[in-house]
A and B are shown apart, each in its own frame.
Chain A
Amino acid sequence: MNILICVKQVPDTTEIKVDPVTNTLMRAGVPSIVNPFDACALETAARIKDETPDTKIVIVSMGPEQAKVALTECLAVGADRAYLISGRGFGGSDTLATSYILSCAVRKLEELEGKFDIIFCGKQAIDGDTAQVGPELAEHLGLAQVTCALEAKTNGNTVQVRRKTERGSEILGVEMPCLITMTKTAYEPRYASSRKKREVAKQEIPTLDENSFEIDLTRAGLKGSPTKVKKTFTIPQNSTGVIFHEATERQSTISLFELLVKGNILQLGVRYGNE
């Protein structure tokens, strides 16, 4: 089995705060992490490898040199090889351009590593938050896709994927090769042992740039992106609410209740009248 995982290095957005004065994101000191959903994809692939030891896991990430830190982390928890895609013409790509660049890189990687049976992506990256790169990459490569997967197991030539739906979940069977995007799994990603961390610290991570593979550069980067971010802003959060903090919960509750009834917010009469 030959598995490719697309990994994005992202700022830990749960640590990001908005500066209350300037209303801008305070990014300084926010740690960079492997996108959590991509970590779920890696864990799912590692579980396939536990079952089928003859499995190779390859990681690819597009980003700056610094993204190699994320790639090394993936190697430490069980990936076999990692590649960084980095090029001056790639910056500012929207999802169509990003997925296009990745698709060109995947074709090159298949020359180097062999055809991939499964390509995993995270359901979404916690910074861009679009959840579009996975399906767009599948379309560029002409692969069947399953999004929002909770679990994936191989069975002969097919993968059985449990996928989250609005009503619960469904199990789909899909033939390989295919592309699967993982949402948060019930199982936690495994940790790297310190021995493994030391071992992979020295592993080489090749960088592929615009000259390493065939690509139409007019379809990459800012210029090749159909969507344009015109402006970004934050929504100031000023508390204007009426908050009760009286001596006892009972007193606070009575005060609140009176206000809600007076303001006709709690329309108990309406409900009562309907019964």
Chain B
Amino acid sequence: MSFDAKIPDGPLDEKWNHHKFNIKLVNPANKRKYDVIVVGTGLAGASAAASLAELGYNVKSFCFQDSPRRAHSIAAQGGINAAKNYQNDGDSVYRLFYDTIKGGDYRSREANVYRLAEVSANIIDQCVAQGVPFAREYGGLLANRSFGGAQVSRTFYARGQTGQQLLLGAYSALSRQIAAGKVQMFTRTEMLDLVTVDGQARGIITRNLITGEVESHSGHAVILASGGYGNVFFLSTNAMGSNVTAAWRAHRKGAFFANPCFTQIHPTCIPVSGDHQSKLTLMSESLRNDGRVWVPKKANKGLTASEAINVSEEDRDYYLERRYPAFGNLVPRDVASRNAKYVCDEGRGVGPSGLAVFLDFADAIKRDGKETISSKYGNLFDMYKQITGDNPYEVPMMIYPAVHYTMGGLWVDYNLMTNVPGLYALGECNFSDHGANRLGASALMQGLADGYFVIPYTIGDYLAKIPYDKVSTDHEEFKKAEAQIRSNIDKLLHSKGSRTVDDFHRALGKIMWDKCGMSRTAEGLKEAKKEIQVLRKEYWDDVNVVGVNEELNMTLEKALRVGDFFELAELMVDDALNRNESCGGHFREEYQTEEGEAKRDDKNFTYGACWEYSGPDTDEKLHKEDLIFENVKLTQRSYK
């Protein structure tokens, strides 16, 4: 298996330009001879499909929703970063690069991150040209805010609906290409396998979610932009349908899966309210700019928000302000989340479950007035009230961390190609830019950078070197893969067991949350591995999938996804167990400083852990991509 990150030579700030000049181009007249498959219509997939079609390639685009416009990216709220330095406050490409590398706790690749920062400015230009109504100042120029504790204001936003507006922009570009006949769109269609021929990615197997038909699609290259795998935890802020199947199936066909244990747990989500809970709702991080986080000094389980207002100042513990005087409530996500867990573990959590902390706006309202607070957070306060029934203008909010984003994903080189030739991964489904921890407002940036400004160049370099000949979908590799999928479906439909798919998924999620979540130990991870194996076996013997294949069958859809989550979960645990250090979102209790902060081990773990699938029930093989830092000095993050 070849394994080369293909980082171009030369100084950091010249790599991308040189590379663009050095890579091969496909002659404009020949582009129409190539078919490119794009799985996913989120920011990464929609922008890639539209841009490639504009260049002249024939694109086939896939999503499981009824419309490309409904991809999970639609839900992003807070904003998108770009090194425009419109505010003249000292931002630059280098600073965005540096912040991203440092925020990722030095577990990402310098060259990729630099390029991301470099093209970030073009994204904003592109989106404005498409009609994205970003927030503006009274003078008519674009507004910015500082986000997630950044020292500069580089975040562009469209109210609390930035993801929606960016996605609608990309969707409009995609729609234009569909109308032009350059993109063939397949909605309610799920990719269930990757097909490789002579080691190269040459197509995919899909299931039509309305008719159940299993079909083959052939192409010269396959791009996965299928999003993150946070739903392995059952409860997360991801959309209900988000899943790992596309990436996992590619992994089983040889693509390395890198850093699977790097998951981001977002500190400000609405707490779980009961067993019926199906997903968790994120409350924007911006709330921490004005809200103060606290719990009672002494355990007081069951304390409600309306009782909280009577707790006196001296009985409150503003634990983030106390422990991190410099950053206070604005410490990075992983630090804020872990500290919420600690105070709840100590029994000082609030609300009926004891798994919640207060986020209090009383002081901010006293200081700035209700009107100012409402102008900043009005829609978030309304949303909170809608869900919980509590009014945050009068009582504190209750929040708790929830799984939000996955930094791990398919390994890709500088060209965003996986180690399987012709297979690319963009957006959240790759592992590339965020290291062990992603900064707020950087996922949208990465998705659009990958789709609009990287893949249109890098894919040409590959296609220019391969012949035009198409592989027929009658090829035995397609037939074999189709047969395998049909037999999986049959197996699920015929097991007629006693437990529902959700029941298993919930149980898997609980193992992952308890033992491979915010804080991990070797012992817990070893237990988790055994428990997952047992549960997985039970799953295939005892799951009950009602209905038939030849109809719209949402239980079957879920069952196929959960089957892949089981395998992924085990790999996440292996990866967490292998990484004997704490970094970013990965916190191993054995590796902490005396003050209880994450302790990296740069000597032994400055690498991307790239896992190679080795067959069912076999431990995967680890390959290491050593991360070489030529431009930044590794330092310990400190927010004291």
Do A and B actually bind? no
Interface residues of A (CB under 8 A from B): none
